[in-house]
Amino acid sequence: MKLIVAPLHEIADLAARHRPSHLISLASPGHIDATLTDAPPHRLDLRFNDIAEPRAGLTPPTEADVAALLAFAASWDGTRPLLVHCWAGVSRSTAAAYVIVCARSEPGRETAWAERLRVAAPTATPNPLIVTLADRLLTRDGAMSRAIAAIGRGAETAWGEVFELDLSSQGAASL
């Protein structure tokens, strides 16, 4: 049960190599995605800016966006990978990955998953608004937000590295 996280420029190669059943694209409004010759059969495309709080002229992630993310991820049976990306593979996609693993885990594992995320992706800086919205929808009483705040901002980078979270073994690894 692999969840692969990547920046946009890695998606075509990863889709061809790993043949995921599900793809989540998190992009800014008006952004045009890469063309995929090996497009996964199930795809969710969410459009919002990578912002931590609402700002004039920008589109924040909403509770409806996060609910759609959770519902889509719940439809994934794990037999083939789920691939999630944003522009840089640092903020929106890492938040989505964290939200998905928390949704598939019992409450109380939020800190362990945040720590695994940090090990797998030293540059990960999960979008705190996405995490806060998911925390509310999953009724985790702030545990997800506190866990992400505790790992802090990731290392500076222009592009995140491709990594995977293995939900079957509760482990994490870089690709």
Start-to-end CA span in the chain (Å)? 15
Res. 171 pLDDT band, cuts 50 70 90:
very low
Say whether pLDDT at 104 is over 90.
yes
Letter string b/e over residues 76-94, b meaning 16 or more CB atoms within 10 A of that residue's CB: beeebbbbbbbbbbbbbbb
Say whether pLDDT at 172 is over 90.
no
Instruction: Convert the pLDDT of each residue in 117-169 to its tens digit.
Output: 999 999 999 999 999 999 999 999 999 999 999 999 999 998 999 999 998 86
Looking at the chain, the number of H-run helices and the number of E-run strands are 6, 6
Task: List, in order of start, the domains of the chain with CATH numbers.
Answer: 2-174 (3.90.190.10)
Q: Provide CB contacts within 8 A for 112, sequence distance 6+.
A: 170
Q: Token match 């939900």: residue?
A: 167
Read off the pLDDT of each residue in 100-122 and give the average, rounded to a whole number.
97
Whole-number mean pLDDT of the chain? 92
Tokens matching residue 121: 């992706």
pTM here is 0.93
**What letter does residue 28 receive in the DSSP assignment?**
-
Instruction: Convert the pLDDT of each residue in 57-86 to its tens digit.
Output: 999 999 999 999 999 999 999 999 999 999
